[in-house]
Amino acid sequence: MSWPQFEPLGECSLIVRWEQKIDQSLNARVHALARAIAAAALPGIEEIVPGYASLLLRFDPTYWGGQCAHAHEALRSRIEPMLRQAYPALSGEILEIEVRYGGADGPDLVALADAHGLDPHEFVARHCAPTYQVAMLGFAPGFPYLLGLDVRLHSPRRSTPRVRVPAGSVAIGGAQTGIYPSELPGGWHLIGRTRIRLFDAARKPPCLLKPGDRVRFVPIDGPAGASSEPGA
């Protein structure tokens, strides 16, 4: 795995960027560095924002020499030793999320399973088997991009997005799965739904999941919800 690049972003931000791809082991390095920086409590760090293969640091330059170029270089010199250490194993929280698959809660399940040559029950079993990693939050407050999806379930996004996707919808888009935290437009395939509230502005913190956490899906009431037959 290549050594990351350090890229200044304006006067008050620095990006640590690895490769231009989505990869679970690469994303683990991002979160390991984010945890290391948070634990070090470096002065003036205002925000740590993990992405798929990059980490954005917002900081107060007055703590790092004031002048832009010097501040970026000073911060970089403190971060590089952290990169040279072996990064730890994944250690985020694990949350089990109950999902009602198929039927009205997952209107795309049967068609998607058929497109992959799978029985809907096998499709659900494959979706529930991995422990997913929250790569980052984006698109909408609380929306988790989850890595670890079985390669047999990778699916291109819908050619025509839906105008309204119900809150709690569990969906697949490309090589990822995710959960819609509120009613939103969206082009991912809907395979189930959870009642867990992922985002609540009145809750502290408002987002149930955070980057680096891990998730397992647990089917309830059979793969299709109330019925024992997926899609019934």
Identify the band that residue 232 occupies on the pLDDT scale cut at 50, 70 and 90: very low
C-beta atoms surrounding 68 within 10 Å? 14
> From CA 219, how far away is CA 127, in angstroms rounded?
10
Q: Determine the residue type at 95.
A: L
Condensed to tens digits (0 to 9), the pLDDT of residues 150-196 reads: 999 999 999 999 999 999 999 999 999 999 999 999 999 999 999 99
CATH numeric code, 5-84:
3.30.1360.40
- Cα dihedral value 56, 61, 64, 66, nearest 10: 150
The position carrying tokens 């189930």 is 192
Please state the domain extents for the chain: 5-84, 94-219
Going by C-beta distance under 8 Å and a sequence separation of 6 or more, which residues neighbour residue 84?
A: none
Whole-number pLDDT of residue 32: 86
Q: Report helix, strand or coil for 63.
A: helix
C-beta atoms surrounding 2 within 10 Å? 7
Q: Determine the residue type at 154.
A: H
**Mean pLDDT (the chain, rounded):** 87
Mean pLDDT of 28-41: 87
List, in sequence order, the alpha helices (H) in the chain: 24-40, 68-84, 109-115, 120-128
Whole-number pLDDT of residue 86: 43
> From CA 133, how far away is CA 94, in angstroms rounded?
9
Task: Report the CATH superfamily, name and number, of domain 94-219.
Answer: Cyclophilin-like (2.40.100.10)
**In percent, how much of the chain has pLDDT > 90?**
55
Whole-number pLDDT of residue 64: 84
Mean pLDDT of 65-81: 80
Whole-number pLDDT of residue 157: 94
> From CA 119, how far away is CA 69, in angstroms rounded?
58
